[in-house]
Chains A and B, each alone.
Chain A
């Protein structure tokens, strides 16, 4: 299981290469935008996967970091100027803020039981949502505001590559993180917290570290999201944003990182496809229902998601053929 299950490197590299050559096959702007959005949400979902998939932390307020990233970048670009350096500064501030916030929340509440943590994070994100609504002088509330973006990001094609490269980079970094000795401890915590504790690990310490990493990565994705829209409003702090990360990582397959990328693609494509179907019947305007039902089905029946289920299937097949082989040997 060295390659994080049986989903081999070759397939992942193939997907990334295919995404890199995709713009040569089609030059539809709307397609660039859709894929850019897939990359951005894939980053967000991967950060969520670190929490839920690897460490078993249930946060229902993950949108708070996404929102911090979005607002931080937007405010810098709007108030100081549309340059790459202000973009980077905005991202840096978002990273620092998210790091501090996740550290504080983690230290205060990660020792609590999972349901408390879920409630608490939900409530804090709701608090930020209300804060953003009320602080109109800064955020313009629910109406939001538009802002100019740096030259490089204005071109949909170059922004496509920026987001793709960032997604691949973060995938590689996070994969290294989860395969590091520290990542192994996280996985041990996710599988059996008591046992990990009995083995002498400072559970809280590790949980705080992973939630800081997850918060920072989520903030980056939020910043990119705002740049893509060239607009931001309080929606980034809404529960729907958290649900997006939850749906994507869960449907794709928890604890695999790549599943989040796949899940992001599926959710965005489904969104697109189902909205198209709204011409046939108005129920498809409420496409979230279908995703919600799919999500429930995944939680109840395929808790390891698409990638996980695929790996399990491969694993079983391999074992079966191994068994068959030994049986034949014995017979001979």
Chain B
């Protein structure tokens, strides 16, 4: 029971981190039809910037906020320099964003280190909480709580604000949104920044969770996020959340019981969805 509960919490926390990466990916894809292969790079940047800023300021909160800001700045540059010029050309977009991934991953090694870096937690988030006879690690609960706050915030943004309405409408039919007098390109930039910010947030939260960060982790998590986006359905934030939790929990249990198969199971999940329902379980569009 204790093990199962711990694995569940562990999986949910991992799922939340993947969600932070996948939700931006899915929104950007849904709205702009751009599959951003550099998204994992923003995640890794969030991790490195967070660790660096935490060392500098000794404030975990400042570190996270700073990492998000840095991620958004980088996202802004990516959107303007790489994505705008090839808007509408799918193959070029895929090629150029993968190039972007390459460059920003290498830049991490230039700014920080080509070797893995240790990441630590602030004192107040260390330790564990006892619930009856179950011991839960505090930081994992913290990550889950942050994830829930972000999800609720995102949900409110999308359903309650005019901007959210435009984003949702844009996912369904971009042309019609423009035919209603709305300049959707401005909204693209906003969504890209939002996605970049969430990816960086995910990275900065992951760093002390895994204890060690390295430049290649961006791609590793991006692949999980791709699986989530496909399973959840392109363009669906809700689908991403459910799929991310599924992938996280599945991965956590598999890693405990049959470690050899943990990535394979998620891959099989993705393959099954792609073959049976390519639009995903909650797909807003195919």
Contacts and interface: CB of A to CB of B under 8 A. Distances in A.
Does a CB–CB distance below 8 Å link A and B in the complex?
yes
A296 B82 contact: yes
Contacts of B220: 126
Contact of A295 (B99, B227, B260): B99
A115 interface: yes
Given A112-B278, A292-B99, A134 B260 contact: yes
B90 A114 contact: yes
A270 interface: no
Contacts of B139: none
Interface string B219-243: 1100100110010000000000000
Interface stretch (A67-75, A117-125, A206-214): A117-125
Contacts of B286: 113
Contact of A114 (B82, B91, B103, B110): B91
Interface in B224-267: 226-227, 230, 260, 263-264, 267
Interface in B102-154: 102-103, 106-107, 109-110, 114
A239 B103 contact: no
A243 B86 CA distance: 20
Nearest to A124: B267
Contact of A250 (B95, B110, B227, B263): B95
Contact of A118 (B94, B110, B227): B94
B202 interface: no
Interface in B260-286: 260, 263-264, 267, 270-271, 274-275, 278, 286
A160 B12 CA distance: 54
Contacts of A120: 270-271, 274
A207 to B, nearest CB: 14
B99 to A, nearest CB: 4
B107 A116 contact: no
Given A116-B278, A123-B270, A246 B95 contact: yes
Given A58-B94, A243-B98, A299-B95, A118 B260 contact: no
Do most interface residues of chain B lie in helix, strand or loop, or is the interface mixed? helix
A115 B110 contact: no
A296 B110 CA distance: 19
Interface string A210-243: 0000000000000000000000000000010001
Given A115-B35, A296-B96, A289 B260 contact: no
A318 interface: no
B274 A130 contact: no
Contact of B94 (A114, A292, A295): A114
Contact of B267 (A56, A60, A123, A134): A123
Contacts of A124: 267
Nearest to B219: A239
Contact of B107 (A56, A108, A127, A289): A289
B96 A116 contact: no
B219 A108 contact: no
A331 interface: no
B102 A109 contact: no
A188 to B, nearest CB: 16
Contacts of B227: 123
A109 B278 CA distance: 10
A94 B84 CA distance: 41
A62 B85 CA distance: 26
A34 to B, nearest CB: 22
A110 to B, nearest CB: 12
Contacts of B263: 126-127, 130
B102 A286 contact: no
A232 to B, nearest CB: 19
B128 to A, nearest CB: 30
A134 B264 CA distance: 12
Interface string A234-269: 000001000100100010000000000000000000
A223 B148 CA distance: 49
A56 B99 CA distance: 17
Nearest to B102: A292
10 contacts: A58-B95, A60-B98, A114-B90, A114-B94, A122-B226, A123-B270, A126-B219, A283-B110, A286-B109, A300-B92
Interface of B: 29, 35, 37, 82, 85-86, 90-92, 94-96, 98-100, 102-103, 106-107, 109-110, 114, 219-220, 223, 226-227, 230, 260, 263-264, 267, 270-271, 274-275, 278, 286
Interface of A: 52, 56, 58, 60, 108-109, 112-116, 118-120, 122-124, 126-127, 130, 134, 239, 243, 246, 250, 283, 286, 288-289, 292-293, 295-296, 299-300, 303
For the complex of A and B, the 9 pairs showing the least CB-CB separation, nearest first, are: A292-B103, A115-B35, A292-B102, A296-B99, A119-B226, A289-B106, A299-B96, A295-B99, A288-B106
